[in-house]
Structure formats: structure tokens, C-alpha cells
Structure 1
Amino acid sequence: MAEFVSLSRLGSDDASGPGRGVAVLRIARPPMNLFDTQLIREIAAAAAACGADPAIAALVVYGDERVFGAGDDLAELAELPAEQAAAMAADLQAALNCLAAVPQPTVAAISGYALGAGLELALGADRRIIGDNAKLGFPQIDAGLIPLAGIRRLSLLIGPGPAKDLVYSGRFVEPDEAARLGLVDQVVAPDDVLGAAIDWARRFVDGPARALAAAKAVFEAGPHGHERARTEWAQLFATEDQRIGTRSYLRDGPGSAVFTGR
């Protein structure tokens, strides 16, 4: 059993609804959801469980009304020997990128602070929805460190110049600037963050799961996206959803297909 992470599933219409649904991964390491190695690994394990569950159509990641993740647990890092850091860096980096490895669409619902490793985790989501009370940033530089998993994603998302500014300065970003930079996709009232994220995730409950996973795999392939797209596109012709989708589109137009996820 995880100590700091819970995973619950909402049905297609409500908490007890039938069929595929939305999962909500909640982070709760009070008081500030600081990311230590245990929390990072628990999040990654929960994300992997979600990715392996065909009943889950999309994943929402949320902290609480005050904080998503307030940064790295410096008390742990201050005592970490260099040899141990070298041995665990690859595993922690992969764990912080866990949302990108989930085949379903993912959305980070951020209210309050998303700093350091918390923001690095959110960068791996397909969408970021924040409250207008959010404060984002990568303050690791002020501790003599750098983001372990977020620099490349940040640079691809907002461009190398703005990314260097945020990483080198360690400064906080307010919601308006975050939206202007493209660091986040939507800004809402703090009380609406989780609901807005669930609403976005519900769009995929009746969607073609295999095609969505294929599209995500191509996005994640980076410079090899063209080659990955050929493979994923061809493999979709062996799926039931492709046959259902193309024939329904021809017969009744877009939005008419009832997909099976197979």
C-alpha cells in the first residue's frame, strides 16, 4: 500500500458509473507535498498501474487546494552521498517522467505551488490546468542543483531561451506568465481546477483508446516521430476500433463511432 499516493476511478458519468472511466491520482504528503524518493516512486507505481488498466480512459493528477508539489525534499538531498545519487539518478529521472509513459491522456490539475520536482512531474502530462493562485518554478538552482527530469521537456515546451531563464534564475512564475509562455494550457479559479481537469479527461472515456495511445507514442518519440508514426499507423489497421471508426465515419460522419478499445 502506498503511503502518500492514492488512485481512484470515476465512472463514465459518476463515481459508480459503468464502463471506462477517469482515474484520479492524488498526492498527499503533508504539509507541502515535498518530493522525496519514496513519493516519486509511489507516484510512478500508481501511474504504471493506471497505464496497465484498460478500464481507465484518462488520468488526472492532483494534490490539494493549497499545493500540487512544493518541490524537492532538500532534507533528504542534503544527506545524499554522491555515489548514491549517481546510482539512483536514472531511476528517479524515469519515475518523474512517468506520466509521459502512461498510454492514456493525462492532465495535471495544479492549485497552489508546483515547484521543482512537482513541476517536472507535471511537464510529463499531456495538459496542465492551473488555478489563478498557482506559483510555478524550478528553484533547484538556489540549492546548488538542477532539475533532474524537466529541462529537456521545458525547453521543447516553451523554447530554450525562456527555459534557460526559468532554470538559471530559479524564479517563480505567476499564472498569467505561465499561460503566455505556454507552460500551462488553462487557468481557472482554484476551486475549479480539479473539476476542469476531470471534464477534460472525460472527453476520452468513449474515445479510441488504441489510436490515442498511438498518437501519444508518436509525440513522445521526439526526433524519431516520423518513423514511429509509420509503425503506429500501420498497426492500427489490426484493431477493431479502426474498422469501427472508418466505417462509422463513412456511413454516419465524425463522432458516430462506438469504440471498444480493442
Structure 2
Amino acid sequence: MIIVNIGHVRQLTLNRPARRNALDGTSIDELGQELQQADRDPAVRAIVVSGAPPAFCSGSDLKELSTMSIQEMCDSESETARVARSIAGLSKPVIAAVEGFALGGGFVLAISCDVVVTASNTRWHLPEVPNGWLPPWGLQALLARVGPVRARLLTWAADPIDGTEAHRLGVADYVSQPGLADQQAISLAKRLAELPPDAIASTKRFFEPFVTLDGERLDNLASCHFASNCEGGAAQAIFSKFKVKS
């Protein structure tokens, strides 16, 4: 992970470009630790999460998951879910800067942030259902942003959407020109960092129950469906492909 301080803004950049910034156990642990450390640092008043080119994040690392039992996969995904849910409980605003693509867990990690800035040409997609399983965590974040009917359609993932459509649907809050999402996210973070920090924290605390409503229980329910789906032929075929490549 690349960590840069820009005034009162701390930028955390996922940095596994060879794996398209896929989330493995090490990277999600590091992200969780760095988010907590930034939240405790009085010099930090806003946080930006971005990804090293070519993308924001391609989701969970299927190459790593393919080496695990189904229970181990559920445990790993539950830890990723915990880190994503923790963002709503931080005292400081967290802004996702999304370029390239946000797929699967990368899509949900981005929308778990308080504010999402997307480039207009970013590819947003939840490929889990086509792969054979329900996304195992984070669907409450999608529900909070777009409502249940639209969330269901996006989860079925019939069609990817670009950043312009993501903004129109409410998946993202701001849309930038290609290549400028980081710049726009940092500019917004600087403006938020200038506001009284106690009032910023109080605002997050007030809205947290509405944003994360029943999130942990729903993640556990999704994990059960995920485990069942992973026993099916479609899912096993996907994981077999990654086992061959390893």
C-alpha cells in the first residue's frame, strides 16, 4: 500500500497492480490497519482510498481463494466484510477515488466509503452471480445507495455500467473526467478537512445506523448463501480455472 499525506488528507492507495489490486488477506489486513491508524491520527482529517493503475480494485483475489476450503473462503471474506463495514464507524470522512474498473469486492469496497468519486469511463461490475455465487458481503452498502430493486438488478450483473451511469444511479456521488478521479477526490477531501472535525464526526455517528442498518447480520446471511453456491458446478468451474493458473 502507498501512503501519502497531503496536508490534512491521507491517501491510501491499493498497490498490487500485477493482480489488478485484488484483495488478498495481507492487503485487506493492511487496509484495515491503515484506516484505523489514520482515524486515530489528529493530523488527519479526511481519508482518500484509491488504487494504483490500471484500476481501483478487481475484487477478492480468486487465485488465493481457490486454494482454500469453502469455510476458509467464508472466513476470509468475512474479514474483508468487517474492514469494509468499519469505514462507516470511523470519525473521519473516507472518499473512494475510482479509476479503471471496480469489480466485485472492489465495487463494494468503493461504495462502502462515505463518498465515491468515479471517472466517467470506469467499468463497474459485480461478476459474482455470473460466476455462480451471491456476493458474500457488502450488499447493505448497495441497498443504502440505490434501494432494493436497483440493488438486485446490479447484483444480477446482466450488464456492466460505466462511471457516468454509476453516478446517475447513485452508486457514485461525483463523476470526473478520465484520469482525474484522484485529483477530484483529494480536492473534496481537502474541503471536508477544513470543516470542524467534531461536527464531521457527529454527522458520521448520526447517519451510521441508516447506512449500515443490519449490515453484519446481512453479511453473515450472504456468507451462508455464498458457501452453498460455492458447492455448485458453476462456482467450482471458476475456481478450477484459477487453480490451474496458480
Q: TM-score range by the shorter chain?
A: 0.7 to 0.9
Cα deviations across residues 37-96 of structure 1 (Å, max 9, x unaligned)? Answer: 221111111111111111101001111342000122111222221232344443221013
Matched, 1:77 2:40: no
How far is the alpha carbon of 1:221 from its aligned partner? 1.4
Measure, in 1, the Cα distance between the counterparts of 2:203 and 2:149.
28
Letter in 1 for 2:14: I
Instruction: Provide the C-alpha distance between the structure 1 equivalents of 2:173 and 2:25, rounded to a whole number of angstroms.
Output: 28
- Which amino acid letter does the alignment assign opposite residue 9 of structure 1? N
What CA RMSD, in Å, does the superposition of the two structures yield over aligned residues? 1.9
Q: 1:144 to 1:223 in 2, by over 3 A?
A: closer
Say whether the 8 Å CA contact 1:158–1:182 is kept in structure 2: yes
Which structure has the highest helix share of the two? Answer: 2
Change in CA separation of 1:223 and 1:120 when aligned onto 2, cut-off 3 Å? closer
1:44 matches 2:17? no
2:166 to 178, 200, 206: 178
Matching residue of 1:138: 126
Q: Does 1:195 align with 2:191?
A: no
Larger Rg: 1
Q: Is the 8 Å Cα contact of residues 125 and 157 (structure 2) preserved in structure 1?
A: no
The 1:193/1:88 distance shift into structure 2, 3 A limit, reads: closer
For the residues of structure 2 that align with 1:65 and 1:223, how far apart are their CA atoms? 29
TM-score, normalised to structure 2, is: 0.80
1:64-103 paired onto structure 2 within 5 Å:
64-103=52-91
- Cα distance in 2, alignment partners of residues 223 and 36 from structure 1: 26
- Return the offset for 1:34: 1.2
State the aligned residue count. Answer: 212
* Residues 1:10 and 2:10 are matched in the alignment: no
Quick one: distance in 2 between partners of 1:184 and 1:132?
10
Assess, with a 3 A threshold, how the Cα gap between structure 1 residues 107 and 223 changes in structure 2: closer, same or farther: closer
Conserved? CA contact 2:101–2:123, under 8 Å: yes
Indicate the structure whose relative CO is greater, using CA pairs within 8 Å and at least 6 residues apart: 2
What runs of 5+ residues in structure 1 fail to find an aligned partner?
12-20, 226-262
CA, structure 1 residues 222+33, in 2 after alignment: closer, same or farther (shift >3 Å)? same
SS at match of 1:171: coil
**Letter of the 2:51 counterpart:** G
Alignment of 1:22 with 2:9, yes or no, is yes
Name segments (4+ residues, structure 1) moved above 6 Å: none
> For 1:48 and 1:97, how far apart are their aligned partners in 2?
12
Distance of aligned partners of 1:74 and 1:87 in 2 relative to their CA distance in 1, 3 Å threshold: closer
Deviation at 1:99, TM superposition (A): 2.4
Q: Secondary structure at the match of 1:183?
A: coil
Query: 3-state SS of the aligned residue for 2:45?
Result: strand
State the identity as a percent: 29
For 1:15, the equivalent position in structure 2 comes to none
Give the residue type in structure 1 aligned to 2:127.
P
Partner of 1:158: 146
Matched, 1:113 2:101: yes
In 1, Cα distance between equivalents of 2:135 and 2:158: 10
The separation in 2 between residues aligned to 1:181 and 1:55, in whole angstroms, is 35
